[in-house]
Structure 1
Amino acid sequence: MIRRTLGKVFDRVADAYDAARPGYPDGLFAALAELAETSLNGALVVDVGAGTGISTRALQARGARVVAVDPGAEMLSRLVSRGAGAAVRADGNQLPLHDGVADLVCYAQSWHWLDPVVSVNEARRVLRRTGMIAAWWNTHDTARADWLAGYEAELAELAPEYWGPAHPQWRVPSIAAVLDVEERWVHWTRLVTVDDFLLDLRSHSYMAALDPGQADELVGRLRGRLDGDAQEGVLTVPMRVYLAVGR
């Protein structure tokens, strides 16, 4: 669940998160508008688990009025410093908003940290009658690149709390189990330097759980692998976004 303690976990890696986490492709927001059957322009959106504002800024760029909610003080400070507008430090299981005010409640990379039933009920409470709930997750598309599958497999061996495509029980979060949704996969390609790819890695919770020395050693081992996969220091990373939208 997203609580103060979880906020502290990500607060420890806020700089890495802000600098190196990937954004989202235009196709995601086109699919969101299509499945929600509405325009983001002018919509009041509650961005739950907004972090440093990656999704917040993307929604604002498409004309949405966004209230960003996150439990992490350091994460929110990066969001606010970029001029992302209204931001509230709060738990996504208890939204500090009135009933029936929002057109969309969304969770970008965050719903899996929440109580599945309580969070959806909270979203329903703050939504207008015609409002929508949406959740999405960026993931590495390991089926499209052998080098990426090998990287994930080695990462799974090195990081005890790893959770990702190489874990045998990994699946996209199960929001469809508690909400009637339409689903969409959006494929895209990320071009990123090895340095930023590894900085992104440091922003994940399973890395934040490691002792700093262990994290440095792990990153050093993976750098040797990735340098061989890069072209002039740049990796071509196949990505896919899972999107679920429900009324």
Structure 2
Amino acid sequence: MGTVFDGVVEEYDAGRPGYPDALYDAVVELSGVAFAGAVVVDVGAGTGISTRGLLERGARVVAVERGGRMLGRLVARTPRGGVGAVLGDGNALPVRDGVADLVTWAQSWHWLDPVVSVAEARRVLRPGGAMATWWNTVDPESADWLAAYEVRQAEACPAYRGPALEDWGPPPSAAAMAEAGLAPAVRWIPWRRVIGLEDFLLDMRSHSWVASMPAEEVEALVARQRTELGRVFPGGVLDVPMRVYLVVGRTPEEGG
């Protein structure tokens, strides 16, 4: 079992952003689940970026990831207390019925079946539990240089799916939750990321549309982006406007 991301574990772990405190605050507000002591199933946990954020806030986390190398990096990078790491698929969660307070998908729900994954989350949640999907995305409308950066990716990557495309939008997790009988709450959370140029390029390498390209094409794209971004940020430190798209669905209390 593996994914395209197993080939870019180092880039993913070093380059992908974490999440702002405001994201975790919003999850608690909209889900009604306090993290301290809560059982959270983190689906598609990758190298553990969201897993560690949840652990730091007192949750007990079951990290589910289908990429073996990704899961190995999560285990190596994550304190052992309070976390269980399981090789598994979000379409068939290796978790018992009714044991979780919260099911989360950070940057991962769009890789799963929209109907089956939500049904699986409902199965493992206790009555009154909640599910939450979220995605970090850049905000190119706030910076011309960032819009140009995304256009260069779109030109170079046949599989590109991002904000440079006219029909781009966040994955339809809100619609999937609504179809499952939930009443999803949606929120956009703005924040800013300050990051070195080389780490920013590692982030780019970790995206599926880049990771799936031939190596020589990836290196050509990286070289072009390095040159163009270096003109905008000659000091080598980028100030990147970001947004997190959050969707939370709460399940009814037993008998509700």
TM-score, normalised with respect to structure 1: 0.96
How far 1:196 moved relative to its partner? 0.3
Corresponding residue of 1:109: 107
User: In structure 1, what residue type is equivalent to 2:84?
Assistant: A
Aligned twin of 2:231: 228
Q: Deviations over 1:181-231 (max 9, x none)?
A: 101111000001110000110101111110111100111111111101215
How many residue pairs end up in the alignment? 242
Q: What is the distance in 1 between the residues matched to 2:90 and 2:220?
A: 34
* Structure 1 position 40 matched with structure 2 position 35: yes
In the alignment, which of 16, 21, 32 is matched to residue 16 of structure 2?
A: 21
Match of 2:245 among 228, 242, 245: 242
Residue range with higher mean Cα deviation, 62-71 or 31-40: 31-40
Specify the alignment match of 1:177 in structure 2: 175
Q: Which amino acid aligns with 1:239?
A: M
Residue 94 of structure 1 aligns to which amino acid in structure 2?
Answer: A
After superposition, what is the alpha-carbon deviation per residue over 1:75-122, rounded to whole angstroms, capped at 9, x for unaligned? 011100023431000010000111000000000000000000000000
Matched, 1:93 2:91: yes
- The answer to whether structure 1 residue 187 and structure 2 residue 185 are counterparts is no
Q: 2:148 aligns with which of 143, 147, 150?
A: 150
Deviation at 1:176, TM superposition (A): 1.1
User: Pick from 72, 76, 85: which aligns with 1:77?
Assistant: 72
CA distance in 1, matches of 2:17, 2:138: 11
> Structure 1: any 5+ residue segments left out of the alignment?
none
Q: What's 1:200 paired with?
A: 203
Local SS of the residue matching 1:178: helix
Q: Secondary structure at the match of 1:106?
A: strand
Runs of 4+ in 1 over 6 A off after TM superposition: none
Mapped to 2, the partners of 1:172 and 1:99 lie a distance apart of 29
Partners of 1:245 and 1:146 in 2: CA distance: 31
Aligned to 1:216: 219
The answer to whether 1:67 aligns with 2:62 is yes
